[in-house]
Amino acid sequence: MRGLIGKRVLVSGGSSGIGLAAARRFLEEGCRVFVGGLDAAEVRQAVTELRPYGEVSGFAADVSLVEGANALVDAAAEALGCIDVLANNAGIAWREPFLEITPEHFDRMLAVNLRGMFLVAQAVGRHMIGRGGGAIVNMSSTNGIAGEEDYAHYNASKGGVLLLGKTMAVELGRYGIRVNTLCPGYIRTPLNASIAGAMTDGEFEASHVADRIPLGRAGLAEEVAAAYAFLASEDAAFVHGAELVVDGGQLAVM
């Protein structure tokens, strides 16, 4: 990807799954990377795992809290010197029928997936304005575009991320800050494995995934990481306010 060598990248939710793969891809592209995560031990493990690929450090914080989001961004700016790219990736998910969702569960889902994304992006956006621009890539989902049973709270949070990103693009473009949104479909990650429960990857994909995806398989975290790198790079210099769907054709048949 053009223009990524030497860039300073903050990956929120970077200690596992897609975020970890994105951090590794940015390191492979020659970037310096700072990873955030909720669990301190998991962040330390991620940093250890990523060190062979390049210069990386990390910080544990709850991005659903103002103080947590600000602390993460401040720590990243201090460690990196500045932030050129935000891979705004932190998120949670679980299955729950609509009529069984409690207000507390609904609030927690939106607190992390939407409020947390807003708080981190706002703090980074203020930082980027001060230094003349940057690139922000928010993480939504195909669930933000089309509804899926048993995910009303998750769907609502990811739909909100889409319009958050569009509005950020309208308001931040004048400062040289490009904002785009990623919308993965079903991707093999520890989070999705926890949703699958006792089923193996093969069993879950056979019953829930393969017949819905024209390419006949679930996606890989590395494939979403490649999309992160593209949207952050100069190859996407005129891509702004867009959603990039990475779903193997899933939405084409929904």
Catalytic annotation, residues: 154
Cα 9 to chain centroid, rounded: 13
Residue 189 exposed, middle or buried by CB count within 10 Å (0-12, 13-18, 19+) = buried
Local structure of 159: helix, strand or coil = helix
Q: Find the DSSP H helices in the chain.
A: 17-28, 40-50, 66-80, 103-110, 116-131, 152-172, 190-196, 201-204, 221-232
* Alpha-carbon distances, residue 37 vs 82, 132, 216 (angstroms): 19, 27, 32
* Alpha-carbon distances, residue 168 vs 45, 219, 235 (angstroms): 33, 28, 21
